């Protein structure tokens, strides 16, 4: 870092300011985490220099014998950690992993069945503004109005009626467990492929805090930078049956050279996730999310579906008469960083929304537990209810984060 500071103080300042921002506030974005210094060291390594199109032992460039080891270690650890027959660690992101998986299993114009974005699905699950909605014929399922949980009867009816080639389960803003066995049964009834996109929960799967989709899905796509606490990136786990076509879909179909520094960092994160401390971490992430959801419920901030089984809570703010956008702004002013989010059947447009989404991966990495979640809920409620109170709440945030710093000094 001293070298960067000497050569490019302008950019060094940006990096330092971001560390200060992380230290000075509460990061409650459900899709973020704080990667370890070891992960960041691998990311900032000379492996970024190497072109290595292809796969270990089958590259289109010379000099790959060292980076081959990085990818072999990453693949080996991913397969062991998740009990998968095959792993591809090259996707640059979760969206790339989905693009590759769709390319491997479908042709443009084929039908896929996935969760609607306004009910918690991801952009890549068929949104019109995304390649998935443009290139495939998308049928969307949602959650029930009464329970706000996935309507399996609707999924089955739509599957029987539209006969999709691929069914996608997994979501971006869904606080409950996905029943992979039920989805497998529906896919089997119509001979469809089943893809579980566990971008959000793969870290909880790694830590044994939620059930694994691996025994049920033909393909599992994931990101490495959310609850898993690795570098920004994606990955694919799949059965031996589709392994070769999955690899060909990643390279050469959608990507060129893999990012070997990111792959090394993914391997470091998989290694960290194999340790007993990570099991404790994943369990605590879920316990904290439950505690946060309960404490917010007590403040008239209703958790969608009544609570959470995962790392996130989706909160309906209509009881307080505050929009998601306004709540996001007040919380940010108090240095509590979270995002506005549509709730199922939201009457407000996506730029406004009636909800907010909060996640516990970062604050749990900082060593916070249930007592701190209760404090955080009170701070969030205070900021949302009364934007005039943000200055004093900001002081409370500073006190709390001093006791549990992100990236402790030294
Ligand atoms: N799939 C799901 C379910 C996600 O939640 C996300 C990101 O939030 C993605 C895919 C895409 O990941 P990325 O932002 O790395 O492309």
* Mean pLDDT on 328-340: 98
Would you put residue 305 in left (φ > 0), alpha (ψ -120 to 50) or beta? left
| Four-point Cα dihedral 242, 87, 79, 28, nearest 10 | -120
Residues recorded for the chain: 410
Output the pLDDT for position 1: 85
Active site residues: 51, 53, 197, 223, 226, 232
Q: Does 369 appear as a known binding residue?
A: no
* Mean pLDDT on 272-286: 98
Spatial contact of 312 and 397, defined as CB atoms under 8 Å apart: no
Note the pLDDT tens digit of each residue in 24-57. Answer: 999 999 999 999 999 999 999 999 999 999 999 9
- For 316, phi then psi, to 5°, come to -90, 120
In this predicted structure, the answer to whether residue 391 has a pLDDT above a threshold of 80 is yes
**Which atom of ligand 1 lies closest to the CA of 94?**
12
Whether the ω angle into residue 251 lies within 30 degrees of 0, i.e. cis, is no
Residue predicted with more confidence, 1 or 306: 306
Spatial contact of 322 and 353, defined as CB atoms under 8 Å apart: no
| Four-point Cα dihedral 267, 271, 273, 278, nearest 10 | -150
Cα of 93 vs centre of ligand 1, distance in Å, is: 7
Cα of 321 vs centre of ligand 1, distance in Å, is: 30
Output the pLDDT for position 410: 66
Cα of 220 vs centre of ligand 1, distance in Å, is: 13
Q: Does 241 appear as a known binding residue?
A: yes
Buried b or exposed e, range 125-143, using 16+ CB within 10 angstroms: bbbeebbbbebbbbbbbbb
**Which atom of ligand 1 lies closest to the CA of 95?**
16
Q: Does 228 appear as a known binding residue?
A: no
Closest by alpha carbon to 272, among 207, 183, 177? 207
What's the pLDDT band for 409 if we cut at 50, 70, 90?
A: confident
Spatial contact of 311 and 305, defined as CB atoms under 8 Å apart: no
Atom 13 in ligand 1: residue holding the nearest Cα: 94
| % the chain with pLDDT above 70 | 100
Q: How far is it, in rounded angstroms, from Cα 4 to Cα 2?
A: 5
Note the pLDDT tens digit of each residue in 82-116. Answer: 999 999 999 999 999 999 999 999 999 999 999 99
Mutate to test the pocket of ligand 1, among 172, 174, 175, 235 (most ligand atoms within 8 A of CB): 172
Mean pLDDT value across the chain:
97
Q: How far is it, in rounded angstroms, from Cα 236 to Cα 11?
A: 34
Q: Does 200 appear as a known binding residue?
A: no
Instruction: Report the pocket of ligand 1 as residue ranges, CB < 6 Å.
Output: 31, 93-95, 98, 122, 124, 170-172, 197, 199-200, 223, 234
Cα of 124 vs centre of ligand 1, distance in Å, is: 8
Note the pLDDT tens digit of each residue in 61-84. Answer: 999 999 999 999 999 999 999 999
Closest by alpha carbon to 131, among 93, 157, 162, 169? 93
Count of CB atoms within 10 A of residue 146's CB?
Answer: 7
Angle at 245 between CA 242 and CA 247, to 5 degrees: 105
């Amino acid at each position: 870092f001293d070298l960067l500071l000497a050569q490019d103080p302008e950019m060094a300042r940006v990096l330092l300011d971001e560390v200060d921002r992380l230290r000075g506030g509460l990061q409650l974005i459900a899709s973020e985490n704080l990667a370890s210094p070891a992960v960041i060291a691998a990311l900032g390594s000379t492996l970024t220099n190497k072109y290595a199109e292809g796969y270990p032992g089958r590259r289109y460039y010379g000099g790959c014998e060292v980076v081959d080891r990085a990818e072999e270690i990453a693949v080996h650890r991913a397969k062991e950690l998740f009990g998968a027959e095959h792993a591809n660690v090259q996707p640059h992101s979760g969206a790339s992993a989905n693009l590759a998986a769709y390319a491997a299993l479908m042709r443009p114009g084929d039908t896929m069945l996935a969760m609607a974005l306004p009910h918690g699905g991801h952009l890549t699950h068929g949104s019109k503004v995304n390649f998935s909605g443009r290139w495939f014929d998308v049928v969307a399922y949602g959650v029930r109005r009464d329970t706000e949980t996935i309507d399996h009867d609707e999924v089955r009816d739509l599957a029987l009626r539209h006969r999709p080639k691929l069914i996608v389960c997994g979501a971006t803003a869904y606080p409950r467990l996905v029943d992979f066995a039920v989805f497998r049964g529906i896919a089997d009834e119509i001979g469809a492929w089943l893809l579980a996109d566990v971008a959000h929960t793969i870290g909880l799967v790694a830590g044994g805090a939620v059930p694994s989709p691996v025994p049920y899905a033909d393909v599992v796509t994931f990101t490495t930078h959310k609850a898993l606490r690795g570098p920004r990136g994606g990955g694919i786990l799949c059965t031996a049956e589709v392994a070769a076509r999955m690899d060909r879909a990643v390279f050469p179909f959608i990507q060129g050279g893999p990012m070997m520094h990111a792959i090394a960092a993914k391997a470091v994160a998989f290694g960290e996730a194999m340790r007993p401390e990570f099991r404790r971490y994943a369990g605590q992430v879920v316990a904290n999310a439950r505690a946060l959801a309960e404490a917010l419920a007590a403040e008239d901030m209703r958790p969608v579906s009544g609570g959470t089984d995962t790392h996130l809570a989706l909160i309906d703010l209509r009881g307080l008469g505050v929009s998601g956008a306004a709540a996001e702004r007040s919380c940010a002013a108090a240095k509590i960083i979270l995002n506005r989010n549509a709730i199922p059947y939201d009457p407000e447009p996506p730029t406004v929304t009636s909800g907010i989404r909060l996640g516990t991966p970062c604050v749990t990495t900082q060593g916070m537990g249930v007592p701190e979640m209760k404090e955080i809920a009170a701070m969030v409620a205070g900021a949302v209810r009364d934007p005039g109170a943000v200055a004093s709440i900001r002081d409370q945030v500073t006190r709390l984060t001093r006791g549990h710093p992100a990236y402790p000094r030294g």
